Structure 1
């Protein structure tokens, strides 16, 4: 492929990613305006603070989302890079504009005592939208970038800081929606975070399986025939026993994990197995 074709391909890919991020912002805005906010339920992060600020001041939600995310976009530019910042600007702008356009959209679920339905549906919708943005290199909320920055200066992990920051957000939310609304908001945020993880990783995300076995040839043969996956073979040594072993490694999808365990049990019930999540697989004949 020539340099001109490569450049054109990159531009086309960037355009598609940008379009998907815009769609993600639109979907998230729909979940907020058509499900959560009319039922006095908020989101977490900067969006949650923007919802509270909108209730306090009467300013449009989209305006506050855009303003409050500015410092986090700068953090994203400094910590991750200009591409991430550019796609995040696109996503946040999409969310801000969409919330303004859909402010008076009809509510699709009235609470009527069914708080679980509101939190589940709302969490799934906003999680799906945010997950689309994150999977394509952008973000709709900047609080995660703040957590990354603080984790480098404080003796806490990023996930711990995200949890702490959102506890603060939901305390602020309780001043507007009450304790019940804050608890519902926390549940919706939890559901959204799980959906985001699924969208980012995919239902068939990959795993690396390491098998230490004395039946290496039979194991490789069965994995190839019954699962259709290739394997690599390594010679390993026990750190204490100094005994020589062979380690079989194979990359599979999450949906194939149970089948892999069945194969291992059939070939060598005494095999030592470790399974690790793999963030990305490229090259070879892996589908």
Structure 2
């Protein structure tokens, strides 16, 4: 990593942490709404003890940062540490100013607070860091037990939101669950990109015409795979193509134009890279 790239990533991590702090201080905390994970636990403890939220996030994340350093490397540790320190410092400054919350309507705080929090956390994750140690813990658990990272985080957050129901009340706990959902979707959008891609597999006897049409009309590379019917044992040609979400309807129209009986499946592709995705090139 060059010095310029390193500086840009550090800057984006800091910006992400600042955005997350704004979401927490101006939307969530004033309305007694929390998020999941370490941030959620810190918000609950802040309500119970009045200990500074930023300090709680920093202290509770320290053990996870150490584990991350051991298992994910020094670069992850550095970016995470920068993000967590920036989050704690920004939250302390915002709290010191005692500015009025931007809204006192719980639903608005939930939606916009969740969106901002997801945007901030997503920027940090996209640039190689983390603001919450639960994902690190989950990575270690999945090596020992037959669970996914998402399942481990979900189980952990069930206990967090159950605790929130006792401390903040049932209604605030429900708003908190909604905040967690909104933030998670926003994180996915930032990390994976808004312009998501789709992988399409097409089974058709008119594969040659379809290959030419997809390449010429959509400008997409097409990979032809060899398949075999499970019932009749007949050999089949399977076309594999990756398109952007906005191009799905054009692809469907192209398929139906050449073969109304074609079978195809559309699968979410989290990331697509390579020359065949961006320029005309037939395999």
Kept in 2: contact 1:62–1:99 (CA 8 A)? yes
Shift, 1:262, TM fit: 2.3
Q: Note if contact 2:220-2:276 (Cα within 8 Å) is conserved in structure 1.
A: no
Cα separation, 2, equivalents of 1:249 and 1:155: 31
Deviation at 1:128, TM superposition (A): 0.9
Aligned partner of 1:19 among 11, 15, 28: 11
Deviation at 1:29, TM superposition (A): 0.5
| Equivalent residue, structure 2, for 1:187 | 178
Aligned-pair distance for 1:73? Answer: 1.2
Gaps (5+ residues) in structure 2? Answer: 279-283
Q: Kindly indicate whether the alpha-carbon contact (under 8 Å) linking 1:43 and 1:188 is maintained by their aligned counterparts in 2.
A: yes
C-alpha deviation, 1:285, in angstroms:
4.9
SS at match of 2:169: helix
TM-score by length of 2: 0.91
Q: CA deviation at 1:46?
A: 0.2
Instruction: Work out whether 1:107 is the aligned partner of 2:101.
Output: yes
Offset at residue 137 of structure 1 (A): 1.4
Question: Can you list the C-alpha shifts for 1:31-58, whole angstroms capped at 9, x where unaligned?
Answer: 0100111011111110111112222222
Give the superposition deviation at 1:283.
2.8
Q: Which ranges in structure 1 are unaligned for 5 or more consecutive residues? A: 1-6
Give distance in 1, aligned partners of 2:203 and 2:219: 20
2-side partners of 1:256 and 1:136: how far apart? Answer: 28
Q: Aligned residues, how many?
A: 276
CA RMSD for the aligned pairs?
1.7
TM-score, normalised by the number of residues in structure 1:
0.90
Give 4+ residue runs of structure 1 displaced > 6 Å after superposition: none
Corresponding residue of 1:75: 67
CA distance in 2, matches of 1:285, 1:242: 31
Q: Are the structure 2 counterparts of residues 228 and 150 from structure 1 closer, same or farther at C-alpha, using a change threshold of 3 Å?
A: same
**1:15 deviation in Å?**
1.4
Q: CA deviation at 1:266?
A: 2.1
Query: What are the within-5 Å matches in structure 2 for residues 108-257 of structure 1?
Result: 108-111=102-105, 115-257=106-248
